[in-house]
Amino acid sequence: MQPNPPDLVRLNKHLALILGISRREADNLIEKQKVMINDNFANLGARFSDGDKISVNGKELDKKVEYICIALNKPVGYVCSRRQQGENPTIYDLIPDEYHNLKPVGRLDRHSSGIVLLTNNGDFAYQMTHPSFKKTKIYNVRLDTNLQPLHQQMISDHGISLEDGPSKLILERMNDTDRKSWVVMMSEGRNRQIRRTFGSLGYTVNKLHRTNFGNYALGDIKPGEFEVVDIH
């Protein structure tokens, strides 16, 4: 009986995890002959087994990948990007260098705050963000003026037509004293979807704060701080 072949790992995926880069950037390194497998230049699409030696620019890499996830309470004014956009700081200014290889799982715009997950586990990120998994996200939203009952019904029952498709949100009042403050629940994650949904009806979102993302909640994490969380 023939022994089972060793499990092969895609090289660009491994480089992306270890170096904290995209797979496209990993492919660029391979194309420029910066990557070697067992002292031979690697080719695009290459795979390797556990016993192989991987090196980049002559430096051998550790083949063990430790998956990690952190939950950050992003303050307003920070962007979910590695590169600074104008004078706006990035979320990476809030976390130690050892976590700079982690990538955001679902972003918040500069004017929004709340929970942002960062991880080096691509499968986990996919399961948290792909619409088919329907991960519920919860936001505290403050509008510039009272939301009319008819508009509440339109958003919750029928949905609002946006340029990238219909938007249907679950709305709950935060209190009985006004109609400006709402808890918004959704399982989609389109760009600025909540702001655009209310904006299409003439409202401005003055505050948008995400408290929950799937099974993860901010809890006692203070603005600008983070916690390491289990991946589940």
Helices (H) and strands (E) in the chain, counts: 5, 17
DSSP string, 71-83: EEEEPTT-BSSSS
CA gap 185, 169 in Å, rounded: 6
Exposed, middle or buried: residue 106 (CB in 10 Å: 0-12, 13-18, 19+)? Answer: middle
Residue 109 known to be catalytic: yes
Which one is catalytic: 39, 93, 97, 109? Answer: 109
DSSP label at residue 32: T
**Residues whose CB is less than 8 angstroms from the CB of residue 213 and which lie 6 or more positions away in sequence, other chains included:** 105, 106, 115, 117, 128, 135, 137
The type of residue at 114 is G
Q: What is the 3-state secondary structure (H, E, C) of 153-186?
A: HHHHHHCEEECCEEECCEEEECCCCCCCEEEEEE
CA gap 84, 51 in Å, rounded: 40
Q: Are 114 and 74 in contact (CB under 8 A)?
A: yes
**Active site amino acids:** 109
